[in-house]
Amino acid sequence: MSADREAKYEKLRQQLSDLEKWPSVYMFKFIVPADNQKVAQVEALFNTKESQVSMRTSKNGNFVAITAKEMMMSPESVIERYRDAEGIEGLMSL
């Protein structure tokens, strides 16, 4: 894993530790190309029974914005979810 990526996650870990009390509901936001397979890959990251997932297609229909809220136990569990999402081609994390 690149040093830049590790630094980004370490900064996020510190911010989450400073700002939140854990466990806490965390909101993930992703943008993916409007491809059913990619949207399904993002949806698969979240347990549908424990997560609230909403989607919105962009004005031109080229992208899908996905927001998911889920109870996370620690900053590390949030970072793990972002690491799992890294393998989805074209995904942007917000």
Spell out the per-residue pLDDT of the chain, length 94, in tens. 578 888 999 999 999 998 878 999 999 999 999 999 999 999 999 977 889 999 999 999 999 999 999 999 999 999 999 999 998 999 999 8
Q: Give me the DSSP letters along the chain.
A: --HHHHHHHHHHHHHHHHH--SSEEEEEEEEEES-HHHHHHHHTTS-TTTEEEEEEE-TTSSEEEEEEEEEESSHHHHHHHHHHHTTSTT-EE-
pLDDT of residue 43: 92
- pLDDT at residue 1, rounded to an integer: 53
* pTM, 2 dp: 0.87
pLDDT attached to residue 92: 94
- Domains along the sequence of the chain with CATH: 3-93 (3.30.70.260)
